[in-house]
Amino acid sequence: MRKLISSFIKYIKIEKGYSGHTIRNYESDLKQFSKFVASKKDIKKGDPGIDLVDYMLIRSYLGELFDKCRRTTIARKLSALKSFFRYLELRGLAAFNPAVEITTPKQEKHIPTYLPIDDMFALLEQPDKEKELGLRDLAILELLYSSGLRVSELVTLNIERLDLDSRLVRVSGKGGKERLLPVGRKATVAIKEYLEHTEKTRKKAGYSKTQGPLFLNYRGGRLSARSVNRLVKRYSKECGIIMEISPHSIRHTFATHLLDGGADLRSIQELLGHVNLSTTQKYTHVSIDKLMEVYDKSHPRS
C-alpha cells in the first residue's frame, strides 16, 4: 500500500495541482488508514496489500474515528480514501472502489466566529507604529481585514503580486487558483509604510524592493502562518477581546461586514475564492442572528 499511496500523492500534486495543505492531510490520512489495516489484519511488516481492504473494513475504521475526531475531519479522511481508491480503480490497480458507497457524515452546523466592527477597529489599533515589527503587524491585520485572505495566501504573498497604485493584489488560493482582490486604502497605506521601513532588512536578506516575500520575520526570512496566528491572538488579548480568534476569524469578519454592508453573496463568494455558493451561505446565518437580535430589542411585540 505504501507504494500506491506514494504514487497517488505524486498524482494529486503534479497532475491535479492540489494545495500543499490538502496534499499533506491526504498523505497523513492514508498512512493512518494503512496502519489501521495492518493492525486489523495482523500484518507484521506494517504494509498491507490493497486487496485486504473492503467496505466493512473502511466502515470499521470510520467508526473508530467518531470518538476521536470532529465530523469535518472524518469527512476529509473519507474523501482521501474515496479519491485514492478511485485513482487505483481508473488505473486498473484495484478491482473496485470499496469507499464509493459510504456516505459522508452529516456535518455540524457551524456559525463562523467574527468580530463586531468596534472590536475589529480596536484590534487594528494595537500594533506599535514606532517599531518595524509593529508596522509589519499592522500591515498584516489591515490586509487580512481588507481583502479576506486565508493565512496561507497571506504568508506566500510576494511583493510583485501587489499593485498598490491600483490597490489590487493577486493571490494564489486553494488548488493554485488565482484571484484578483481589492486592497483597502488603509491597508495600502500600512503596506507602503511597512515596505519603506524594511528596505535595509530586505537588501540584507538578498531581496530587491520589488520582489521577494511581502511579510518577513525578524531574521529576514518569510513569515510563517504560525507566527501570524500568534500575533493575532496576542493583539486580541491586549485589546480585551474575550473570544478566541485567529487569522481565519478576520476572514470571517471581512465577509460578515461586507454582507451587513449590503454586498451580495455572489460577490463575497468571488472575493473569498469559494468554489460553491453553499460555502459562502454560512455567513447569512450570522446576519440573520444579528437581524433577530435587533428585532428583539426594537419591536414592541417581540
Residue range 39-50: mean pLDDT, rounded: 81
Provide the pLDDT for residue 6: 95
55 catalytic per annotation: no
266 catalytic per annotation: no
36-40, 122-126, 171-175, 235-239: segment of lowest average pLDDT: 171-175
Residue position matching grid coordinates 500594533:
127
* CA–CA distance, 278 with 294 (Å, rounded to integer): 25
Query: One of 77, 150, 202, 257 is an active-site residue; which one?
Result: 150
Question: Alpha carbon of 283 to those of 11, 251, 267, 280: distances in Å?
Answer: 34, 11, 13, 6
Provide the pLDDT for residue 70: 86
Q: Please, what are the domains in the chain?
A: 2-90 (1.10.150), 117-297 (1.10.443.10)
pLDDT of 254 strictly over 80: yes
Query: One of 283, 295, 297, 299 is an active-site residue; which one?
Result: 283
Tens of pLDDT, residues 266-291? 888 888 888 777 777 777 666 666 66
Task: Round the average pLDDT of the chain to a whole number and report it.
Answer: 89
Cβ pair 215, 232 in contact under 8 A: no
Provide the pLDDT for residue 40: 87
Residue range 40-45: mean pLDDT, rounded: 78
283 catalytic per annotation: yes
Provide the pLDDT for residue 285: 65
Query: One of 76, 174, 233, 282 is an active-site residue; which one?
Result: 174
pLDDT of 131 strictly over 70: yes
How much is the pTM? 0.68
Provide the pLDDT for residue 35: 92
Cβ pair 172, 273 in contact under 8 A: no
Tens of pLDDT, residues 55-85? 999 999 999 998 888 888 999 999 999 999 9
174 catalytic per annotation: yes
Query: One of 274, 285, 290, 297 is an active-site residue; which one?
Result: 274
Tens of pLDDT, residues 167-218? 999 998 877 788 999 999 999 999 999 999 999 889 888 898 889 999 999 8
**Which cell numbers in the block locate residue 44?**
507484521
Query: One of 222, 248, 282, 290 is an active-site residue; which one?
Result: 248
Provide the pLDDT for residue 205: 87
Provide the pLDDT for residue 302: 52
* CA–CA distance, 197 with 131 (Å, rounded to integer): 9
Report which DSSP code applies to 41: T
Provide the pLDDT for residue 108: 65
Query: One of 77, 82, 202, 251 is an active-site residue; which one?
Result: 251
Residue range 100-108: mean pLDDT, rounded: 82
150 catalytic per annotation: yes
User: Pairing state of beta strands 168-172 and 162-163?
Assistant: antiparallel
Provide the pLDDT for residue 299: 62
251 catalytic per annotation: yes
Provide the pLDDT for residue 159: 95
Tens of pLDDT, residues 137-178? 999 999 999 999 999 999 999 999 999 999 999 998 877 788
Provide the pLDDT for residue 18: 85
Percent of the chain with pLDDT over 70: 92
**Banded model confidence at residue 117, pLDDT cuts 50, 70, 90:** very high
